[in-house]
Amino acid sequence: MIRRQLRVLRICWRAAVAADLEYRLQFLSAAALSAFWMVWAVAGASVYFRFAGSVAGWTHGEVLVVIGLFFTLNGLRQTLLQPNLELMSDHVRRGTLDFLLTKPFDAQLLVSLGRVRVTNLLDPALGLVLTTVGVGLAGRGVSPGRLAAFLLLLACAAVLLYALTVLLMAATVVLVAAEDLDRVSFAFVELSRFPVDLYRDPARTLLTVVPVAFLTTYPGAALLGRLDPRLLPVAVLVAAGAVALATAAWRRALRTYAGVGG
Amino acid sequence: MRDTLTAYRGLARGGTLVAVTYRGRLVLRVLTGFFPLLMMAVWLTVVAEGGPPAGWTAGDFLAYYAAATLVVNLSGDHVVWQWDADLRSGDLSLRLLRPLHPFHQYAAADLGQRAVTLVALGPALALAAVLSPALDYPVTPARLVAFAAALVLAYALGLLTASTFALLGFWSTQTANVWLLWWGLGSFASGWVAPLELLPPWLRTAALVLPFRSMMGFPVELLTGRLDGAQTAFGFAVGLGWLGVFALLYRFGWRRGVRRHQAVAG
């Protein structure tokens, strides 16, 4: 079952990548722009450190770790989630969702992961480079335990993002004209640009509950060895709960879907 | 001239209607453009921990970023996306057939949309300033007039620079990326990333003569009462100078570009 799903996804992705790579200049200039935005974000954050050695207990290097993770997750969002969300509102508006639903394949998987866009493929890689640089600057060293906790939390963050996308897809089915729902997922990731500790309450608490903190702050803190280990099971639970919630919402939305004819 | 004005009125009304019809979208745009507010939130933490950086108190940051949100949402540079889309889809050909230069078609529709933003955000900011003691603007009638004039100048310069960059579409398909690069570089010199007073001196000096500050930082600094008479006059002179430069560049680019234009099927 899972092998078949992976095979179908691979075929979908290969087709999408081939189509994207036809526009080579676009790909190259987008890659250059990715690097530029990263330098931009680093330069922007460095303004604070002209006036303070650390903000809310985060040094310059430690903040860079989180900014790197922000680029990693944002790149994933733009590569995997955004193209599917865009396609989804087309499907609902034009009625082509009917065809997808009649295919002998898990429709949720197909609408949520069937498309990829290579434009921002470089972002996750560049982000991890920045994170590595940040870890070096922070000078706290690395240990296998920290690395393992970091990878687990990063996986949870990716799952959270996926759950949000499925939730937005369900919303698209109900609201129909909802291209701008993509901006919700943009905002969710954008809020994770800095460690949530950098904001003061009530924003800080709000962003922990919402759960923006699980995207970049906690994985970054784990990598730096400053995370409360009790948060590890919490993160797993939050991610699993989010997926369950989103899947339920998707099923419910499909029940209300009447089809608009292709 | 009278025809142009009549057309402006009609097209602007159309833009307003579009904005009002899709008001949810407008609200979402304003709400998701919160990057400066993130920057502000971190500044407030910096103030709380180590005292006001360079003399900027929490109130200063609040006043600055609230005004900045208004100015950014009133920017005239949104037209670049419509230009780009029309050049790609071939819809520009249709616009060329109309008896009004495409520049004015885009400008009028955008003005109509901005009017909605102004009506929504302007009173909101004024109300917040009256109700909240933390949000304090040293307003005088003269300062308000200067702010309004600077806002018009900011809009016009944004419109003209965006339209000039949009003309690259006659030669290249990379207009959007070039525009983002320009905008990104400019965001440091405009006061978008941080108030210019908090940036390194060399950048501050450069920002004073570059075009970007006229499109955001200058009106905001005027409203927050950070500029004396000479600085105000200098700011207006720089903005008007760049307006002239881009008007010339636009004319030149348009003449060369439209001759090259090979319409894509509409």
- What is the widest separation between alpha-carbon atoms in chain B? 61
DSSP for residue B224: T
pLDDT at A93: 77
Q: Looking at the 3D structure of chain A, how many domains does it have?
A: 1
Given an 8 Å threshold on Cβ–Cβ distance, is B48 in contact with A200? yes
pLDDT digits (tens, 9 = 90+) for B63-80: 999 999 889 888 888 888
Given an 8 Å threshold on Cβ–Cβ distance, is B184 in contact with A51? no
List the single residue in B with minimal CA-CA distance to A42.
B193
Given an 8 Å threshold on Cβ–Cβ distance, is B38 in contact with A194? yes
- pTM beyond 0.90: the answer is no
Residue A30 CB partners (closer than 8 Å, separation 6+): A119, A120, A122, B177
State the DSSP H helix or E strand holding residue B259, giving kind and residue range, or none if neither: helix B229-260
Given an 8 Å threshold on Cβ–Cβ distance, is B46 in contact with A191? no
- What percent of chain A is modeled with pLDDT above 70? 97
| A103 in any annotated domain | yes
CA distance to partner chain B, nearest, from residue A145 (Å): 31
CA distance to partner chain B, nearest, from residue A55 (Å): 6
pLDDT at A104: 79
Given an 8 Å threshold on Cβ–Cβ distance, is A33 in contact with B199? no
pLDDT digits (tens, 9 = 90+) for B93-123: 888 888 888 898 899 888 888 888 888 888 8
Contacts of A39 in chain B (CB under 8 A): none
**Residue B264: pLDDT over 70:** no
Mutation target to probe the B interface, by most B beta carbons within 10 A, among A27, A48, A67 is: A48
**Residue A178: pLDDT over 70:** no
SS3 state at A55: strand
As a whole number of angstroms, the distance between CA A250 and CA B135 comes to 43
pLDDT digits (tens, 9 = 90+) for A82-111: 888 888 878 887 778 888 788 878 878 888
* Distances B210 to B190, B206, B253 between C-alpha atoms, Å: 9, 6, 21
Q: What angle do CA B34, B187, B53 make, to 5 degrees?
A: 75
In which band, very low, low, confident or very high, does the pLDDT at A116 lie, cut at 50, 70 and 90?
confident
Among A19, A8, A258, A241, CA closest to A111: A8
A98-101 contacts: CB < 8 A, separation 24 or more?
A98/A259, A98/A261, A98/A262, A99/A262, A101/A254, A101/A257
Given an 8 Å threshold on Cβ–Cβ distance, is B45 in contact with A47? no
Work out the burial of residue A65: count CB atoms within 10 Å of its CB; fewer than 13 is exposed, 13-18 middle, 19 or more buried.
buried
List the single residue in A with minimal CA-CA distance to B38.
A191
| A262 in any annotated domain | no
- What percent of chain B is modeled with pLDDT above 70? 97
Given an 8 Å threshold on Cβ–Cβ distance, is A55 in contact with B49? yes
Cβ density class B183-210: b for 16+ within 10 Å, e for less: bbebbbbbbbbbbbbbbeeebeebbbeb
Chain B residues 97-136 within an 8 A CB cutoff of chain A: none
Lowest mean pLDDT among A254-258, B37-41, B165-169: A254-258
The CA-to-CA distance between both ends of chain A, in Å, stands at: 29
Residue A129 CB partners (closer than 8 Å, separation 6+): A68
State the residue range of the domain holding A87.
2-256
Mutation target to probe the B interface, by most B beta carbons within 10 A, among A54, A180, A194, A197 is: A180
Contacts of A193 in chain B (CB under 8 A): 35, 38
Residue B141 CB partners (closer than 8 Å, separation 6+): none
As a whole number of angstroms, the distance between CA B175 and CA B170 comes to 9
Tally of helices (H runs) and strands (E runs) in chain B: 13, 0
**Residue A52: pLDDT over 90:** no
| A130 in any annotated domain | yes
A115: left (phi over 0), alpha (psi -120 to 50) or beta: beta
Instruction: Determine the average pLDDT of the residues in A172-186.
Output: 74
CA distance to partner chain A, nearest, from residue B128 (Å): 19
In which band, very low, low, confident or very high, does the pLDDT at A176 lie, cut at 50, 70 and 90?
low
Mutation target to probe the B interface, by most B beta carbons within 10 A, among A47, A62, A190 is: A47
pLDDT at B265: 55
Contacts of A50 in chain B (CB under 8 A): 53, 198, 200
Given an 8 Å threshold on Cβ–Cβ distance, is B39 in contact with A52? no
Given an 8 Å threshold on Cβ–Cβ distance, is A43 in contact with B188? yes
| A203 in any annotated domain | yes
| A106 in any annotated domain | yes
| A80 in any annotated domain | yes
**Residue B160: pLDDT over 90:** yes
Q: What angle do CA B111, B114, B116 make, to 5 degrees?
A: 120
Mutation target to probe the A interface, by most A beta carbons within 10 A, among B173, B177, B204 is: B177
Q: Identify whether the C-beta of residue A98 lies closer than 8 Å to the C-beta of residue A188.
A: no
| A151 in any annotated domain | yes
Instruction: Determine the average pLDDT of the residues in B258-262.
Output: 82
Q: Identify whether the C-beta of residue B112 lies closer than 8 Å to the C-beta of residue B13.
A: yes
Work out the burial of residue A137: count CB atoms within 10 Å of its CB; fewer than 13 is exposed, 13-18 middle, 19 or more buried.
middle
Task: State chain A's mean pLDDT as an integer.
Answer: 87
Given an 8 Å threshold on Cβ–Cβ distance, is B193 in contact with A44? yes
pLDDT at A153: 95
* Distances B72 to A220, B82, B212 between C-alpha atoms, Å: 32, 18, 12
Backbone angles phi, psi at A54, to 5 degrees: -150, 155
As a whole number of angstroms, the distance between CA B266 and CA B91 comes to 5
List the single residue in A with minimal CA-CA distance to B40.
A199
As a whole number of angstroms, the distance between CA B187 and CA B200 comes to 14
Cβ density class B111-132: b for 16+ within 10 Å, e for less: bbbbbbbbeebeeebeeebeee
| A261 in any annotated domain | no
Residue A59: strand pairing partners: A54
pLDDT digits (tens, 9 = 90+) for A219-258: 999 999 989 989 999 999 999 999 999 999 999 988 888 7
Write out the DSSP string of B66-80. Answer: HHHHHHHHT-STTHH
CA distance to partner chain A, nearest, from residue B56 (Å): 11
Residue A110: strand pairing partners: none
Given an 8 Å threshold on Cβ–Cβ distance, is B199 in contact with A47? yes
As a whole number of angstroms, the distance between CA A218 and CA A25 comes to 37
CA distance to partner chain B, nearest, from residue A202 (Å): 11
DSSP for residue A206: H
CA distance to partner chain A, nearest, from residue B253 (Å): 23
DSSP alpha helix (H) spans, chain A: 2-21, 24-46, 60-76, 82-94, 97-102, 107-113, 122-138, 144-175, 181-190, 203-209, 217-223, 231-256
Smallest Cβ–Cβ distance between B28 and the set A33, A56, A183 belongs to: A183
Q: Identify whether the C-beta of residue A23 lies closer than 8 Å to the C-beta of residue A120.
A: no
Q: What angle do CA A200, A204, A210 make, to 5 degrees?
A: 160
Return the residue matching tokens 């939130």.
B41
In which band, very low, low, confident or very high, does the pLDDT at B50 lie, cut at 50, 70 and 90?
confident
* Distances A204 to A63, A132, A197, A199, A201 between C-alpha atoms, Å: 16, 26, 6, 5, 5
Q: What angle do CA B248, B251, B256 make, to 5 degrees?
A: 125
List the single residue in B with minimal CA-CA distance to A196.
B42
